[in-house]
Chain A
Amino acid sequence: MTWLAWRLQRTETLVAAGILALTAALLVPTGISMSEAFHHDGLGSCLAPNPGLSCVQKIGAFQSHYQALNFVTNWFTLVPGVLGVLLAAPFILDLEHRTYRLVWTQSITRRRWVAVKLALAGFAAVGASAVLIALITWWRTPLTDIGGRLDTGTYDTTGTVAIGYALFALGLAAAIGAVWRRSAVSLTLAFVGYFAVRIVDDYWLRNQLASPLHATWRGGRLPDYLEKANILSQSITVNGRVVDRGSGTGGVLGAHAQLAAPGSDRNAVFHAVYQPASYFWTLQIRETLLFTAVGAACLVFAAVWTQRRVA
């Protein structure tokens, strides 16, 4: 039975391997050159607190050089979704082509068949996303050493969340496919759903997963602990009056740079709500468990629905 389920999933598994190979073809050469540049410029020694001006310049040059590439790899957060949806295809095709009638009337029960098929897809989704995470984590090492791991692009593709994303996409596609029994529509719909949920996740859900900290400081340097933090919102107050507020890291750094420049208002008080860099694993584990649980619930729904409603 496992042989058959594996044989029927072979094409999708090979496509998934192809996607990973393409990713590696892009990331391995650029990763090697980026890592060499990092060491060649001696950036490792610039990462201590209070770097000198030359260090700040070197880091800035390095970051802007790899900015475009960094931006491209942020989109790899969609790959777990593609992998999950893709691996749901054999399950839905079985329903669409009515071949389940062939398998369910051999000498095995439908419960075992559905369980084996979905479990195998789940294993493949976990395996493929783990490979993706390993690749991207390695590739990003110089960038995360500088900027931390809490910016959205890095957070989404390192740690463990991508495994949860892949299982969620797999479960969503299987659940829609169990009801709809049309692979093309179900897979498309599942991917759109995945994309929508991930946007909500990046911009709202994640910020709710661990209670944020508050920081207040007066002009001058940005506190070190905010350098690699996930800043949810900030405001600037001058003489008890809020002069600027916004969300996101870019806003506060930009405003800070402006106000901290020589000659600017020394009475400015900065306030930020943030998740510190040390939250990384707490957030990762909570989010992974959440997505895995929802994905597993979808898979159970798909299995139960298929056994009860399909004949």
Chain B
Amino acid sequence: MENAAVRCEGLGKQYGSTWALSDCTLEIPAGSITALVGPNGAGKTTLLHLVIGLMRPTKGSVAVLGQSPSAKAAELLPRLGFVAQDHPLYRNLTVTETLELGRRLNPGWDAAYARERVARLGLDGRRKVGKLSGGQQAQVALTLALAKRPQLLVLDEPVASLDPLARREFLNAVLEAVAEGDVTVILSSHIVSELERVCDHMVALIQSHTRLAGPIDEILASHRVLIGPRTGATGVARVHDVIRESHTERQTTLLVRANGHVYDTCWQQHEVDLEEVVLAYMGYAPGGAMPLPEPEAVA
């Protein structure tokens, strides 16, 4: 078995004259649950569509489970589960008809699993999908993706339109499904706090580039907030990558990616949470906007 479920090299997608995604190189390890984060318009959906084979890349290459999704669509599609943004479903079909859709369009359909899952959700099979709540529709869409018994499950903004309770239920359902089988999951979101609980890997896509990628515990371990007397960041920047700096009259706050553990004693050291790291990479500073660091600084 491949050790990377998804491997992108120099991947780019151009619409007209704008690049929705450019020079994206990343690996998503098999068996991981990877969060794809980034602001709206960063290219998350484009990347996922390239992975699932809905689009062809303009530049570079993408390999999914060792195969090209656009060239080997017929072989690859049965192994992929996908829930698109806003989980599109045929609103006029009943729940039962929607499962019938899954059965008829997928050779590896697990009908018993799909029925059992819908029953567990307490959904009446005769109801039209359009009449269900947003959370229920998302669950039906997830059932459709899971009953294919995919090796790679791709979820595009699965919880964005859901209320907090439905969000929790949806993510729990994903976790359960992963626990049952050997599935790699990629899910995109701009809500980092939700994903921290569920995911073990993260890829941050900012302005169509990958800025941060790796296991979440490593990301957390390598980033620190340093607070010290007001000064420039130059001294620290010689050793560590400064992701964000902000200043008040008396003190300077830096968010750094540490290279080793040597800090000047004048800096007070704090751990960071994932959301703060992601926001820092997005260029958001609490004391005012900061320009993004040059790509070399984080490479």
**B-binding residues in A (CB < 8 A):** 1, 3-4, 7-8, 11, 97-99, 101-110, 311
The chain A residue with its CB closest to the CB of B52 is A105
Instruction: Give A33 to B183 CA distance when docked, in angstroms.
Output: 71
Residues of chain A lying within 8 A (CB to CB) of residue B53: 105
**A105 and B77 contact, CB distance less than 8 A:** yes
Instruction: Give A150 to B178 CA distance when docked, in angstroms.
Output: 70
Residues of chain B lying within 8 A (CB to CB) of residue A107: 74, 77-78, 105-108, 148
Instruction: Give A269 to B27 CA distance when docked, in angstroms.
Output: 89
**B54 and A104 contact, CB distance less than 8 A:** yes
The chain A residue with its CB closest to the CB of B78 is A107
Given the known A-B contacts A107-B148, A108-B77, A311-B49, are A101 and B106 also in contact in the complex, defined by CB atoms under 8 Å? no
Within the complex, the shortest CB–CB distance from A176 to chain B, in Å, comes to 21
Binds A, one of B80-88, B235-243, B279-287, B288-296: B80-88
Contact of A1 among B49, B102, B105 (CB under 8 A): B105
Residues of chain A lying within 8 A (CB to CB) of residue B105: 1, 4, 103, 106-108
The answer to whether the Cβ of B104 comes within 8 Å of any Cβ in the partner chain is: yes
**B148 and A99 contact, CB distance less than 8 A:** no
Interface size class on chain B is: 20 to 34
Given the known A-B contacts A1-B104, A107-B148, are A101 and B54 also in contact in the complex, defined by CB atoms under 8 Å? yes
**A109 and B88 contact, CB distance less than 8 A:** no
- How many A-B pairs have beta carbons closer than 8 Å: the answer is 62
Residues of chain A lying within 8 A (CB to CB) of residue B77: 105-109
Residues of chain A lying within 8 A (CB to CB) of residue B90: 8, 99, 102
Fill in one digit per residue for B197-224: 1 if any A CB lies within 8 Å of its CB, else 0: 0000000000000000000000000000
Contacts of B128-169 to chain A: CB distance below 8 A: 141, 144, 148
Contact of B88 among A1, A11, A101, A311 (CB under 8 A): A101
**B88 and A97 contact, CB distance less than 8 A:** yes
Residues of chain B lying within 8 A (CB to CB) of residue A105: 52-54, 77, 80, 82, 84
Instruction: Give A1 to B78 CA distance when docked, in angstroms.
Output: 15
Within the complex, the shortest CB–CB distance from B90 to chain A, in Å, comes to 6
Residues of chain B lying within 8 A (CB to CB) of residue A11: 92
Instruction: Give A305 to B44 CA distance when docked, in angstroms.
Output: 24
The answer to whether the Cβ of B55 comes within 8 Å of any Cβ in the partner chain is: yes
Contacts of B43-75 to chain A: CB distance below 8 A: 49, 52-55, 73-74
**A98 and B88 contact, CB distance less than 8 A:** yes
The answer to whether the Cβ of B276 comes within 8 Å of any Cβ in the partner chain is: no
